[in-house]
Structure 1
Amino acid sequence: MSFVAALDAQTVVDAIGLGAVYALMAVGIGLVFGVLRLVNFAYGQIVMAGAYTLAFTSEAGWPTWAGIAMCVVVTVVVSGAMDRLVFRPLRTQSPAVMLVTTFAVAFLLQNVALLIDVRDDTIGEPAASVASLNRAITVWGVEVRKVSIVAVVVAVVSLGLLALLLTRTRIGLQMRAAATDFGTARLLGVRANTVITVAVLLSALLAAAVAVILTVQNPLVTPDFALRDTIVVLVGVVVGGIDRLWTAMLGGFAIGFATGVINGALPTDKTVFLPSVVFLLVIGVLLVRPAGLFARGRTGVVERL
């Protein structure tokens, strides 16, 4: 069966759902990068913390809405603590130091999750309370999972609200100014800590949404939860163009969509080669468009929001 013939409606629908999730992750990563110039490799562990919260609240018998609310609280607290205790003291250090620090934080959080998880001598916590959202409904002969619909709606609404925030509010304009030239923005009266706190908060809210969606799709939460997704999204952000938020978002969606399409097109016994195919495609794109697939051809970094 040829690649084109494999692109049926079901594959495209699933790919759009995955692309929407990756777009949300890309925006969350891009917000922090835009203000701090920091690629946060620990973003996946923030998502993991939210997923474990859903699993533990499900095990304790909490209602689904209460578990989701607690998931939001935990992701915000973890993100805030990460910024206040780690990133803020290192803001004057080189980008390499901060980058390595995010790796250290990621592995620290992963090992903390492992220690908590193995308390019952098993690895993995089920999150049964949100499993109902993974049921499918039939639309014109195509099975569409409820969570895919939720992912697309959340992505569109979140990005729309974020666009309004960045273009129509005072704090949004300050964030854009800080993203363009942080030093000059501070001299002009932009409150650095406020701008960074808002960026971290928004990024955490997006992480909570991603945690809920990914947990519905994969209800067994483990310490490496969302790790692979984070790596793929980071690659997508680079492919799209890391210099602006909207190009990062398009890059995240593009690599999610491509991953879904390639996964659906490959024979079942060949899906093990999915990462290789995706990353070969990424290398090809970067060889042709080093600045990013959706960048405007600039070599310098001008704006990030």
Structure 2
Amino acid sequence: MFAQQLVNALTLGSVYALFALGFTLIFGVLGVINLSHGAIFMLGSYIALLLVNHFQMSLWLAMLLAMLACGTLGVIADFLVLRPLRKRNAPHLAPMIATIGVAIMLTNISQGIFGAENQRFPLGTIPEDSFSLGNLHLTAVQLAIVLISFALMLVLLTVMRKTQLGRALRAIAESPKAAYLLGINVEALFFFTSFAAAALGGAAGVLVGLSFNAISPFMGQPMLHKGIAVIILGGMGDIRGAMLGGLFLGFAEVMSVAYLSSDFRDAIAFGLLFLILLVRPAGMFGKILERKA
């Protein structure tokens, strides 16, 4: 029983971590809490569903195209909303309010196009294979979610730690002005960051749609709350913290449902988060960051 719940927690936590990675990437590089990230997450599910239903694409090709579409949408939102605010040196609260507006607009458009009711992937789209090892039961969907989530997280971590691109992004995170003086194309990397973050959010949306097989225009808002909790728990702007924070939140939720009650699922998870932050307010890997010119 406990081993099975660990598998369930790993599946849920890996999706939370993948969603939070895009969230923390935007904050770490652009210095913006992008509150439209949940709406882009939701659109990832709908785009994959649309491609599977109307174009008879394979699920994994639909997921890849959904990531590309969400990434493109993230760049458009950056160009139309965040870039003008950056040029005007707008206060930090302005991008948050602007991205709330983007989220509401995307949610309402999705509701108008797809309706407010839950939708599901057609029968046969989701693999129904399963594996058993003693009392441990693992479905093909759970295995795919864990493998895809960790693969994407590993790719992002490798890029950030081992490549010239990653070093440039970390330089911008420390000081955009200093990075510009060093010859780094700051604006282009802002766009790249928006693309990568939105693509990760879209991937998380498809995986959640597969896991629960229920897609709704309103699924982004609860995930947004979880994403904010995860990046605060892990440390604002820290990739390792987002990964571990997502796994912790998934573990807390699954175990509370399994051994206590589903009625207290969020209360217990966020209560544990509150207790941890009382001990370490900056999060597991966080520190107080100060940007300097």
Query: What's the TM-score once normalised by structure 2's chain length?
Result: 0.90
| Greater Cα shift, 37-46 or 256-265 | 256-265
Q: For residue 262 of structure 1, what is the aligned residue in structure 2?
A: 256
Tell me the CA shift for residue 38 of structure 1.
Answer: 0.8
Residue from 79, 84, 88 that aligns with 1:89: 84
Show the 5 A alignment for 1:3-42: 8-42=2-36
Distance across 1 between alignment mates of 2:56 and 2:189: 35
Provide structure 2 residue ranges, at least 5 long, that are not aligned to the other structure.
none
Written as runs of structure 1 = structure 2, the 5 A alignment for 1:1-305 is 8-64=2-58, 65-91=60-86, 92-118=89-115, 123-128=117-122, 131-133=125-127, 135-266=129-260, 270-295=261-286, 298=287, 300-301=288-289
Distance 2:131 2:27 in 1: 38
C-alpha displacement at 1:185, in angstroms? 1.2
Specify every segment of 5 or more residues in structure 1 that has no aligned partner in the other structure, as ranges: 1-6
Task: Decide whether aligned partners of structure 1 residues 155 and 126 sit closer, same or farther in structure 2, where only a CA change above 3 A counts.
Answer: closer
Question: Which residue identity does 1:301 align to in structure 2?
Answer: L
Task: Tell me how far apart the structure 1 counterparts of residues 123 and 167 of structure 2 sit (CA, whole Å).
Answer: 40
Give deviations 1:144-187, integer Å, cap 9, x for gaps: 12222222222322222222212332221100100111221112
- Indicate conservation of the 8 Å contact 1:259/1:278, yes or no: yes
Q: Which amino acid aligns with 1:291?
A: A
Could you say if the C-alpha distance between residues 135 and 44 of structure 1 is closer, same or farther in structure 2, counting changes exceeding 3 Å? Answer: farther
Check whether the contact 1:58–1:129 (CA below 8 A) recurs between aligned residues. Answer: no
- For residues 159 and 68 of structure 1, what CA distance do their matches in structure 2 show? 16
Using the aligned pairs only, state the percent identity.
26
Please give the root-mean-square deviation of Cα atoms over the aligned residues, in Å.
2.0
8 Å contact kept, 1:237–1:248: yes
Shift of 1:124: 2.9
Aligned residues: 288
Alignment CA distance shift 1:290-1:66 (3 Å):
closer
Give the aligned residue type for 1:110. Answer: T
SS in structure 2 opposite 1:144?
Answer: strand
Moved more, 170-179 or 207-216: 207-216
Deviations 1:61-96 (Å, cap 9, x if unpaired)?
512244224312321221121111111111221111
- Secondary structure of 1:137's aligned partner: strand
The more displaced of 138-147 and 232-241 is 138-147
How much does 1:55 deviate? 2.0
Residues 125 and 175 (structure 1 numbering): CA distance in 2 closer, same or farther, change over 3 Å?
same
The answer to whether the Cα contact below 8 Å between 1:21 and 1:151 also exists between their aligned partners in 2 is yes
CA contact (8 A) 1:130 1:215 kept: no
SS at match of 2:127: helix
- Give the CA deviation at 1:104: 1.3
Amino acid in structure 2 at the alignment position of 1:25? F
Query: Retained in 2: the 8 A contact 1:236–1:251?
Result: yes
3-state SS of 1:224 partner: coil
